[in-house]
Amino acid sequence: MYDQLSLYPITNSKRLSLSLDGMWNFCFDPASIGEKENWMSGLHSSISLPVPSSFQDLFTDQYSKNYCGDFWYERDFFVPEHDGNIQLRFGSITHRGVVYVNGVKVTEHEGGFLPVLCDITSCVRKGEVNHLSVKANNELNERSLPCGAVKTLKNGTRIAAPYFDFFNYAGLNRSVYLVLLPEERIQDYSVNYTLNDQDALVDYEVRTNGEHEVKVSLFDKEGNCVAQSNGKKGQLKVEKAHLWKVRNAYLYTLKIAIEDGGKLIDAYEDKIGIRTVKVEGKRILINGEEVYLKGFGKHEDFDIIGRGFNLPLLKRDYECMKWMNANCFRTSHYPYAEEWYRFADEEGFLIIDEVAAVGMMRSTHNFVDAGMGKYTSFFETPTVPELLKNHLSQVEEMITRDKNHPSVFAFSLFNEPETTSSFAHDYFAKVFEKAREIDPQHRPMTGAFEKNSAPEKCQCYMLVDFMCLNRYYGWYISGGPDISDAVEKFHDEMKRWEAKGFNGPIVFTEFGTDTLATEHKLPSVMWSQEYQCEYLEENFKVFDTYDFIQGELVWNFADFQTTEGIFRVNGNKKGVFTRERQPKDSAFVLKRRWENK
């Protein structure tokens, strides 16, 4: 699984990465007859659809928007003459997919937010046009991540019933590449850092599929070689190292080469940032310096494209976060497209990288039930072993892909599951053990706990290195005129956590209110901009009371789409920005606070 999984596609003298983005043929397969009727060799009827994008918001009818089941993509692609290895690399196929080339099945993959790799060397015709088809599926269940169910209406239509509060966008949401590689090649690499006064040691390990010599070199921004070593495993000593710092990034270029007596066989280069991460007592340390997290929970979500990757949107989001003096975001509630991490590396943003373990509570209104003490015996069902297998696989794929990004300082292994039983503890203990085993940088591991995970009831908080809490005192709990009660309840819980003796930092990864950008009211009422601002100010007073609170990630960066319902007005409106990335009044409240904190 390691071949090219963590290596972002590049083009150099030994590698060629060709984008297959563009208009593809597309069709629904509600009766799941495509494979029986050999659609992998050519769709019987189709329409044109852009890749990357989610398919749902491209249509004008309800059936297509809410479609749940199998669906197909296809296109022809030219393969140049090439003597080495030939691969396809999908940024993701949501939520699962089977890939065919020239009618031959080349791979299948479960999990919709991580790369899908296909070695197609043996089934392509070089120097000719070839046929590529993908059968994908967006159904939700309790065996894979994220969790949910499928609901069948009386007219026979099947729709998704997610156990999570964001829209179930699906499709080929990220870029697709044809990758031409040498037969003997670099498959993966990992780095780890030790600081020694002004110097730094970079421990590296390179994975190849051959036995020829590996040469590793490190270059500074000016292109000067500052360290060099031979061997698949070794150490680079960097004198007077420039450190990657929060909002002040410095990136070196790591160059890896496979050589045979001076002849270059393969080469790969990437940007790395020298920095260390440690949780020490109540503090989060980057390069030994304390950092207070300021930022957001986000979503890959935008009008028309759904969860499809879009470079202008990425640029706008980072500019908005920089304007507010934010320094961190969480990839709620799934690993994002790789470009988000690469840009964070450049800009010095910290990322809590989250696997798609969301919906682990049997509820389609979990944002309400989470605070009401509901228990659904989620981790006591027969599907748990299969779910755990998929969970472990996706954790491994996420860490393998993202392990070398200096921006990624922590991994979040769940969001708001039921954690009040020994069944949950036994389940997540295995997940945390696996994650710690495979991360070469031994970063902090965490997870986001909802209100039911109270100090007296939660049986999983001891697994994390720092605790992430999602709390809505003043919104779901004692909102509006009762907000003074909400503040008292909030203080009460914090004192109980303090008494519990959790020996680590607490970061608030969700707190917020639904707010209509058009709604103003004096005195404030819930859903007004004034109330959102007042709510934030009351939360800040609580945060500033306790020294173990080391971060505030507002929910949410921007308004986003959800399943329809009476609790939502065309989506979740907790954004500090509108879905169009324009600021609400609360953005200025946060900007003033974060410029001085």
CA dist., res. 358 & res. 370, Å (int): 13
Across-strand partners of 285? 278, 290
Strands (E), 344-493: 350-354, 408-415, 445-449, 467-470
Q: How far is CA 149 from CA 27, 164, 330, 354, 465, in A?
A: 23, 11, 25, 22, 32
Residues forming the active site: 416, 510
What amino acid is encoded at 254 in this protein? L
SS3 labels along 139-159:
CCECCCCCEEEEEECCCCCEE
Across-strand partners of 141? 147
CB-count burial class (<10 Å; 0-12, 13-18, 19+) for 50? middle
CA dist., res. 200 & res. 122, Å (int): 44
β-strands 176-181, 85-90 pairing: antiparallel
Tally of CA atoms within 13 A in the half-sphere of 113 that contains its CB: 29
CA dist., res. 153 & res. 437, Å (int): 45
CA dist., res. 171 & res. 137, Å (int): 8
CA dist., res. 562 & res. 576, Å (int): 17
Q: Which two three-digit tokens encode residue 262?
A: 């001076």
In degrees, rounded to 5, the angle at the alpha carbon of residue 81 between the alpha carbons of residues 76 and 82 is 110
Contact 278, 291 (CB under 8 A): no
Element (H, E) at 25: strand 22-29
> What does residue 271 show for φ and ψ, rounded to 5 degrees?
-95, 135
CA dist., res. 434 & res. 392, Å (int): 7
Nearest Cα to Cα of residue 360 among 297, 462, 453, 463: 453
CA dist., res. 382 & res. 389, Å (int): 13
